[in-house]
Structure 1
Amino acid sequence: MTKTICIVDAYSTGAELAPLFAKEGWNCIHVQSSESIPLDYLATYRPLSFKNILILRNDDIAAKRELADRLKEFAPDFIIPGTETGVELADYLSGELGTPGNSWQTSALRRDKYSMQEALRAGGLRAIRQTVTDSLAEASQWVKEVNGWPVVVKPLDSAGADGVRFCHNDGELADAFQNIIGKTNRLGLVNRKVLLQERLIGRQFIVNGVSINGEHLISEVWSDDKKEVKNASLICEKEVLLPYHGEIQDELVDYTRQALTLLGIENGPSHSELMMTATGPVLIETAARMQGTIMHSAVIAALGYSHVTLTAERYLQPGRFAGRLAAPYQLNKELFCVTLASEREGTVKENRCEDLLGELASFYGVMHTPEKGERIFCTTDLFTNPGIIYLCHAELKQIEADYAAIRNMEKQGSLFELA
C-alpha cells in the first residue's frame, strides 16, 4: 500500500524533503498554512513536488478543523513541518489525525520564545532572564529592576535574527521596541508583544537533531561564529562543523537532549542555538524543524548524511534510523559554512562569486547570491546576507586559508560589482 507524507510549508530547506519521499514511492501532499506565502520563502517553494495541495484560508479553529477533515481523505502516515511557519499547524493536524508527531498542547513551547525559556527553567535547566510585554514603560522598568544593560530585544516568534537588537540604553530600547511592536515579521505574523532578555556572554553553537518517539539523535554540532552589527544584533560569520565528541560538545549534547525533552519534541527534526557561558550551556532558542538555508549535499560530503536525509530516514526507514541512536557521527571531511556580509547597498551589476571562489581548493558551492539587477542590502540578519559559501576539504588549514581569501575579496568589493 502506498504511503503518504504531508508537509506543512515546504519552504527553505523543507523544499528538499518531498523529492526524497517521492523517490521511495510515497505520495506527497502540501499544506500551506496561509493564503499567501511569505516573500522570503516564495522562491524555494516547489509545487510540482506534490500530488495534492491544500491551503488554510483563515487562521481560526473552524478553518483548521475543516482543513483537518479534508486532509483525512488522504490518510497521511505522517504530518511534518517544512519550515518555521508550519510547526504549529503540523502539530495540530497531527493531533487531529492521530499521526506520530509532537503534541499540539505544547506547541507554544516550540514557537513562543518566552514560553520556551520558562519551560527550561521549570525543568531545572539553565535559562535566560526575561520578560515579555506590549508596553515600553514596562520594558524600561524591567531593565531597571534587573540592572540588565545590555539587553536583547526581539519578536516572540520570528526567525533568522529578524528584528533582534542589542540595546545599551533607554533610547536604543525605545527605538528597537517601536520597530517590533505591531509590525509584521518575516514569518508573516504581527508582533503583538516584545521579548526582552538578558544578553548572554560566551561562544555560540548550533546543535541539530532528529527525534523518534522521544529519543534524540544529535546529527551535527557546529560552532556558530558571529559578529555584532550596529543597530542590530549578531550576524553569522561562519559555521564550523565540529567532531561529535569534545569537552564543549559533550556538555552541549547533554544539555540539548534535556532541552528537547522539556520542549516536548518527540518526533522529527530540531535546530537549536546555544551559548556556552562561563557557567555552562544555555539555550538561546530551539526550532522544531530542520535548519534553514543549508546546502545539504555539502553536509553529506562531510558526514555521509544531512539534516534533510536523516529527517526523511526517520519516517522512511525508522528501524535504520533507530540504529543510529547509539552511534556518534564521524567527520569524513572538514566543513565551513561562510555567510557573506555587505556593508554597502546597491543594485548588482555583476556577480563574480562563482568565478572567483571556484579557484579556491576547498570551494564546494555557493547559494543565494544575488543575480544581476537584484539589490544588495546592508547585512543586519539572515535575510539580508548576500550569499552563503560552503568550503569542504580533508585539511582544515586549507579551508582556513580559503576562508581568509573570501573575507579579503569581500573587503575589496570584488565579489559583486554594484551599479
Structure 2
Amino acid sequence: MYAIIVDPLSSGSEYLNELRNYAIKVISILSRRAQNSMKTSHLSDYVTEEEDFSSLLQNILDITQGEKILFCLPGSEIGVELAEKIAQNLKLKTNNKDFSKERLNKYLMQERIKHCGLNAINQFLIKNSTCEIPHFSFPVVLKPTQSAGSDGVIFCKNQQDIKNYIDKNFGKINKIGVRNNELLMQEFIAGTEFVVDLVTLDNHCELVALWEYEKILSPEGNFLYSSLKLIDSEHKYFNILLNYAKKVIKALGICFGPAHVEIMIDKDEKPILIEVGSRPHGGKSQAIMRECFGYNQITRTLDNIFKETKNFTYAPKKYGELVFLISQKEGKFKIFGRIDDIKKLNGYIDFFPFIAENEYLQSTKDLSNIPGIVMFAHESAEVVTNSVKKLRDLEKDENFYEIYL
C-alpha cells in the first residue's frame, strides 16, 4: 500500500519517518513551486510535478502498479493545492472540494467564514497596483492573498506605507512560488494571538495543541514574535478558542488531516480568525508537541487513519515554549557565543540555529529571518518562564552573536 506526501518539507518531513512504522510505501512529490523556491536537499527520492498534470497522475499509477493508494496529504503550505488536486483526481479521501479556493486564498477565507456567521476581519482586496484604497483606521495589515508564515506581512501606518508596499510587492513571486497578482489589506486587530492545532477525520475533530504567541515591540515600532507558548485547558480562553476553531474548519470544509488555525482574541475578548493552514503546524512545533504530549499532529493524523484511535483529552505532560531569537546585530556571522550557557538553563531541550558561519546576520524583522529557536519544556511552568527570561538576558550580551569585524 502507498501514501502520497506532497512537499514533505519543514515539519511535514516527519510523515516520511512515521509512515515507515506502518510499513507503508511513500511517494514524495515535489511541486513546481517547491522546486523553484524551497530547500529540498533532505529529499533523496521524489517525483517532480510536471507542466502536464495528467503526466504526474500517470507517473503515480506507474509507480503503484495497481496497489492501493491510501491517501494524499500536504507536508507544507506550498503543497496544499497540489495535494488536494491529486486526491480529488485519484478519488481519495480529502477535504471538501467545494471550498478549495477558500482554504488557499486569505481574502476568500475571511469572506467564507463571515458568510457562515463567524467573526471575521474587515478587509479590502487590492486587485491592481493603481486601485483606489478605501479609508481604514491606521495601522493596517497588508499581505499576499496566498502565502505562508509571515512572508510579505507588514504593518502600514499611513497611505505612503501602503503605496510603498504595493509598489514593492504587487506582481512579485513570493516565498511559496505564487505571483502576487492580488494583495490584501486588513484592519489591525489589537489583542493576543493564539494557534489551535487540530486533526480531522470525517466528522471527528480533535485538539492536538493550543498555543499563545508572545510578542515584543521592535525599535522600528513593529511587533516581533518572541515565543510560542503551550497553554493548558485551564486558560481563560481555552474553550472559546477551541469552539471557534472547530466552527472555522467546518466552514472551510476541512475534514481530512491536520489543520493549523491562527486566531486573535481582540480587546472585547472575541475570537477573530487570522488565517488557516490545511496542513501541519510548521517550524519546530511538531518536535515540542512530541516532547510535551508524547505525540504530535503528524502521529495523531496517522493514528486516526490507521488505528482509528480518537483522542478526546487534552493533558500536556509538560509546559513548553519555543523561543525565537531576536538579533539587533548585523554583520558576517561567526558563532553563537553563549551556547554552553543556554544548554545549562533548566528545561532546555534543544537549539535550532538558522544561520551558519560566514553567512550574513540581519537584524530580526520577522519570523522569516530569526537566527534560531531554543526549545524549553518542563513539568513546571515557572521553570520554563524563568529560563526564558534568563535566555533573553543572555541574548543582550555583546558576545551572544559574534560577528567578524
> What secondary structure does 2:28 align onto?
strand
Mapped pair 1:408 → 2:398: no
Structure 2 vs 1, CA of residues 181 and 111 (structure 1 numbering), >3 Å: closer, same or farther? Answer: same
**TM-aligned CA deviation for residue 351 of structure 1:** 2.4
Q: Choose which of 256, 259, 282 in structure 2 pairs with 1:292.
A: 282
Q: Which amino acid aligns with 1:10?
A: P
Q: Choose which of 32, 35, 51 in structure 2 pairs with 1:34.
A: 32
2 CA distance for matches of 1:103 and 1:89? Answer: 14
1:266 alignment partner in structure 2 = 255
1 CA distance for matches of 2:244 and 2:56? Answer: 37
2:356 alignment partner in structure 1 = 371
Q: Let me know the Cα RMSD of the aligned residues.
A: 1.9
Q: Which amino acid aligns with 1:47?
A: L
2 CA distance for matches of 1:36 and 1:129? Answer: 32
Mapped pair 1:417 → 2:398: no
1 CA distance for matches of 2:398 and 2:372? Answer: 14
2 CA distance for matches of 1:229 and 1:101? Answer: 41
TM-score (norm 2): 0.93
1:98 alignment partner in structure 2 = 91
Contact 1:165 1:232 in 2 (8 A): no
**1:20-31 to 2 correspondences below 5 Å:** 20-31=18-29
How far does the alpha carbon of each residue in 1:142-180 deviate from its partner, in whole angstroms, 9 at most, with x for none? 1x2xx4222111111111211111111111111112221
**TM-aligned CA deviation for residue 54 of structure 1:** 1.7
Mapped pair 1:167 → 2:156: yes
2:270 alignment partner in structure 1 = 280
2 CA distance for matches of 1:25 and 1:279? Answer: 47
The count of corresponding residues between Structure 1 and Structure 2 is 399
> What secondary structure does 1:251 align onto?
helix
**TM-aligned CA deviation for residue 305 of structure 1:** 1.0
Structure 2 vs 1, CA of residues 262 and 371 (structure 1 numbering), >3 Å: closer, same or farther? Answer: same
Q: Which runs of 5 or more residues in structure 2 are unaligned?
A: none
Q: Which runs of 5 or more residues in structure 1 are unaligned?
A: none
Mapped pair 1:86 → 2:79: yes
2 CA distance for matches of 1:155 and 1:200? Answer: 18
**TM-aligned CA deviation for residue 137 of structure 1:** 4.5
How far does the alpha carbon of each residue in 1:43-89 deviate from its partner, in whole angstroms, 9 at most, with x for none? 5x5324x5xx221122xxxx123212322332421000000110011
How far does the alpha carbon of each residue in 1:310-368 deviate from its partner, in whole angstroms, 9 at most, with x for none? 12323332x11xx21xx221021111111111122222112235322111011111113
Q: Choose which of 198, 215, 220 in structure 2 pairs with 1:226.
A: 215
Mapped pair 1:351 → 2:336: yes
2 CA distance for matches of 1:366 and 1:85? Answer: 26
Greater shift after overlay, 406-415 or 389-398?
A: 406-415
Structure 2 vs 1, CA of residues 415 and 295 (structure 1 numbering), >3 Å: closer, same or farther? Answer: farther
**TM-aligned CA deviation for residue 416 of structure 1:** 2.1
Percent identity between the two aligned chains: 26
1:306 alignment partner in structure 2 = 296
Contact 2:209 2:289 in 1 (8 A): no
Mapped pair 1:393 → 2:378: yes
2:199 alignment partner in structure 1 = 210
> What secondary structure does 2:32 align onto?
coil
Structure 2 vs 1, CA of residues 231 and 272 (structure 1 numbering), >3 Å: closer, same or farther? Answer: farther
How far does the alpha carbon of each residue in 1:225-253 deviate from its partner, in whole angstroms, 9 at most, with x for none? 12344679533111110113443010000
> What secondary structure does 2:167 align onto?
helix
Q: Which amino acid aligns with 1:33?
A: S
Greater shift after overlay, 72-81 or 6-15?
A: 72-81
1 CA distance for matches of 2:121 and 2:260? Answer: 18
**TM-aligned CA deviation for residue 97 of structure 1:** 0.4
Greater shift after overlay, 99-108 or 287-296?
A: 99-108
Mapped pair 1:46 → 2:49: no
**1:39-78 to 2 correspondences below 5 Å:** 39=37, 41-42=38-39, 45-48=41-44, 50=45, 53-58=46-51, 63-73=52-62, 74=64, 75-78=68-71
**TM-aligned CA deviation for residue 295 of structure 1:** 5.0
1:340 alignment partner in structure 2 = 325
Greater shift after overlay, 179-188 or 285-294?
A: 179-188
2 CA distance for matches of 1:392 and 1:307? Answer: 18
**TM-aligned CA deviation for residue 218 of structure 1:** 1.2
Greater shift after overlay, 103-112 or 234-243?
A: 103-112
Q: Which amino acid aligns with 2:43?
A: P
How far does the alpha carbon of each residue in 1:171-216 deviate from its partner, in whole angstroms, 9 at most, with x for none? 1111112221111111122111110001111111011011001321
Greater shift after overlay, 300-309 or 381-390?
A: 300-309
2 CA distance for matches of 1:244 and 1:64? Answer: 45
> What secondary structure does 1:195 align onto?
strand
Mapped pair 1:249 → 2:242: no
Structure 2 vs 1, CA of residues 81 and 202 (structure 1 numbering), >3 Å: closer, same or farther? Answer: same
2 CA distance for matches of 1:57 and 1:232? Answer: 44
Contact 1:82 1:289 in 2 (8 A): yes
2 CA distance for matches of 1:127 and 1:409? Answer: 40
Structure 2 vs 1, CA of residues 295 and 114 (structure 1 numbering), >3 Å: closer, same or farther? Answer: closer
2 CA distance for matches of 1:177 and 1:370? Answer: 30
2 CA distance for matches of 1:351 and 1:377? Answer: 14
> What secondary structure does 1:200 align onto?
coil
Contact 2:325 2:371 in 1 (8 A): yes
